């Protein structure tokens, strides 16, 4: 995501020397813009969940704190195992470290085979919410029920090529449906406009079956595509945008 916009949170602080020679930190105009945009989106029942996948991991704690100060609603953690998607990223120790420095809820996007094997580990690290894929999960209902039995919120994710119709049986049991607007596995991808009709269909399903369920949109979300995404689910009452801020500084 490029400035101005919520992505500015990631690089929202500058260091400068004051007259005394002491180095201090001041807030850049970009963070002010980010806060304004977040307030505006909240007025339309839209939440922001910055993904740490695009963070500068040398400054991860600092950037997550910046997200919180700017008004983000939660932190999105992309977990990959190199099997379900062709990449490896972020394990439970990262979540445990972040839990010490943020009060925001942490939702775990499990782009992994056999997510059930890792639930206890991520819960012990401080996770609050699990998003599991419909694809390659022969026992999705069992996975969702186990997450709920462990006292956590559960959501289901569908890839761009997966039709909305697969949600019919699982929708009553989940707290969020996350629609991927890129193919999972890598950051900094371009938003797929072809997913807009599906976002609209999922929104209609939610409104009909479980209005309290959240609708999430993940992939290529920035200041420009957030508006494009809005045309897909304008009538939904609870929307979550998964923004992928670019690290700066």
Q: Which residues are catalytic?
A: 78, 218
Burial status of residue 135 (CB atoms within 10 A of its CB: 0-12, 13-18, 19 or more) = middle
What letter would DSSP give residue 51?
A: B
The answer to whether 10 and 247 have CB atoms below 8 angstroms apart is: yes
Q: Is 113 helix (H, G, I), strand (E, B) or coil?
A: coil
Q: Which residues make Cβ contacts (< 8 Å) with residue 43, sequence separation at least 6?
A: none
Number of H helices, E strands in the chain: 7, 11
Distance CA 37, CA 57 (A): 25
DSSP H helical ranges for 20-134 = 29-42, 60-70, 92-99, 119-125
């Amino acid at each position: 995501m490029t400035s101005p916009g919520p992505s500015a949170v990631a690089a929202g602080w500058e260091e400068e020397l004051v007259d005394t020679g002491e180095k201090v930190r001041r807030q850049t105009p970009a963070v002010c813009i980010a806060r304004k945009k977040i307030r505006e989106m909240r007025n339309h029942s839209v939440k922001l969940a910055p993904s740490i996948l695009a963070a500068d991991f040398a400054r991860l704690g600092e950037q997550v704190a910046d997200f919180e100060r700017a008004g983000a609603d939660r932190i999105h953690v992309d977990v990959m195992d190199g099997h379900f998607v062709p990449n490896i990223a972020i394990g439970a120790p990262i979540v445990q470290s972040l839990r010490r420095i943020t009060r925001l809820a942490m939702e775990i996007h499990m782009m992994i085979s056999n997510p059930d094997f890792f639930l206890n580990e991520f819960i012990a690290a401080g996770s609050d919410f699990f998003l599991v894929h419909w694809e390659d999960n022969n026992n999705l209902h069992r996975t969702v029920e186990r997450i709920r039995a462990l006292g956590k919120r559960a959501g289901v994710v569908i890839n761009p090529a997966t039709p909305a119709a697969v949600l019919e049986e699982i929708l009553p049991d989940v707290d969020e449906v996350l629609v991927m607007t890129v193919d999972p596995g890598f950051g900094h991808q371009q938003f797929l406009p072809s997913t807009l009709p599906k976002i609209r269909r999922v929104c209609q399903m939610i409104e009909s079956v479980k209005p309290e369920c959240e609708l999430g949109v993940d992939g290529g979300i920035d200041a420009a595509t957030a508006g494009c995404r809005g045309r897909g689910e304008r009538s939904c009452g609870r929307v979550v945008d998964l923004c992928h801020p670019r690290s700066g500084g």
